[in-house]
Amino acid sequence: MTKKKPSILIVDDDENIRKTLSAILQGKGYITDTAKNGLEAIEKSKAKSFDLALLNIKLPDMEGTKLLTKLPEMVKIIITGYPTLENAVEALNLGADAYVIKPVRPEKLLALIEEKLEEQSQLRR
C-alpha cells in the first residue's frame, strides 16, 4: 500500500509567494493547492481535505488569524511579514500549530511542515 502524499493549501495574496511555495513543496512530493484570500481558502477546504494549510496573516478579505477558526481540522501554520506579539499570541490561541516570520527559509519551512505532519499522524494513530 502506498502512503498518500500530504496535501497542502497555500493561502497568500501574493501570487509569487504562492507559486514559489507551491513549487518548493511539489518538488518535495507534496500535493499543493493555492488560494489568494480567505474566502477562496474556505471554499477549497470544503471541496477537498488538506493535511496542512500555510496561511498569510494579512489577507485582502480577512486576517489569517480569523481564517484559522473557519478552516476544518488540519495542521495550520501562520506565515507573516508583520510579526507582532499580539498576532502571534492570537494565532496560537486560535489554533495555529506554528507561527513563521517572512522571509521564510525553504529548508526551515520544509522541516517544520514535516515535523507538524508527523505529529498529526502520531495523533491519528
CATH code (residue 48):
3.40.50.2300
Q: What is the pLDDT of residues 27-37, one digit of tens each?
A: 999 999 999 99
Nearest to 55 by CA among 109, 11, 117, 25: 11
Please give the model's pTM, rounded to 2 decimal places.
0.95
Q: Is residue 1 part of a domain?
A: no
CA-CA distance, 125 to 106, in Å (whole number)? 29
Please tell me the predicted confidence (pLDDT) of residue 3: 66
Count of domains for the chain: 1
Domain presence at residue 49: yes
Structural domain for 28, as ranges: 7-124
Cell 504562492: give the residue.
18
Q: What is the pLDDT of residues 83-124, one digit of tens each?
A: 999 999 999 999 999 999 999 899 999 999 999 999 999 988
The answer to whether position 116 is within a domain reads: yes
CA–CA distance, 119 with 83 (Å, rounded to integer): 25
